[in-house]
Amino acid sequence: MIKATGLIFLGPPGSGKGTQAQLLSKLAGIPHISTGEILREAIDLQTPLGQQAKIYVERGELVPDSLILDLIRERLAQADTEQGWILDGFPRNVNQAIFLDNLLSELNHRSEHVVNLEVPQEVLVERLLLRGRKDDTEETIRRRLQVYQDQTFPLIEYYRQQSKLCAVNGNRLPEEVTESLTKMMKG
């Protein structure tokens, strides 16, 4: 028996997945799990995880899987995920995606939709520069987009083969994107 179904956000840095994930989580009353946010908080609080992750996040590299996988396992096993969940920033490479598939079947959860928010590259760079988060310097942005191309982009094909991929045009007003996403979740 499936206990919970979830939504996975793919999409490059700057595609708006964090904004949309947060909104949908409020609308649907299910938790928003952002690995980027978890890591930034750990870095600010200087926890052991934060101390290990800092150098990677500042360079725009992925942190090693060993820092992320247990964290996801523990988070998805918490009781508040039983009505569903939204993952933002995980999985980010093929190893993480395979881990997640195994974890979800262990927990009797299922990923129903995998959303790829599509935004042209030049718009992404513009948005990220405007956003000005701590790790949004021009050099890190370039690095993060490259890491996305090399490691995360292959997941689009991975989920297409599982017939879970939903491409959504992210180059529109945020409320238009939200509308498409809520329709998708209902449909």
Give the DSSP letter of residue 62: P
Cα four-point dihedral sign 65, 66, 70, 75: negative
In angstroms, give the least distance from the CB of 47 to ligand ADP. Answer: 15
Distance CA 51, CA 22 (A): 26
Figure out which of the listed residues 24, 42, 43, 68 binds ligand ADP, where binding follows CB under 6 A.
68
- Piece of the chain touching ligand ADP by CB under 6 A; list 54-62, 73-81, 116-124, 160-168: 54-62
Residue nearest to ligand ADP (CB): 36
CA of residue 16 relative to chain centroid, distance: 10
Q: Does 20 bind ligand ADP (CB under 6 A)?
A: no
Select 3 or 133, whichever has its Cβ closest to ligand ADP.
133
Give the DSSP letter of residue 89: S
- Piece of the chain touching ligand ADP by CB under 6 A; list 25-33, 74-82, 89-97, 163-171: 89-97
Q: Could you count the other beta carbons within 10 Å of the beta carbon of residue 81?
A: 19
The token duo for 24 is 């949908």
Distance CA 184, CA 166 (A): 9
Q: Does 57 bind ligand ADP (CB under 6 A)?
A: yes
Inter-CA distances, 152 with 30, 51, 176, Å: 25, 24, 25
**Binding map of ligand ADP across residues 148-167, x = CB under 6 A, - = no contact:** --------------------
In angstroms, give the least distance from the CB of 133 to ligand ADP. Answer: 7
Which spans of this chain sit near ligand ADP (rule: CB under 6 A)? Answer: 13, 35-36, 39, 56-57, 60-63, 68, 89-90, 92, 96, 144
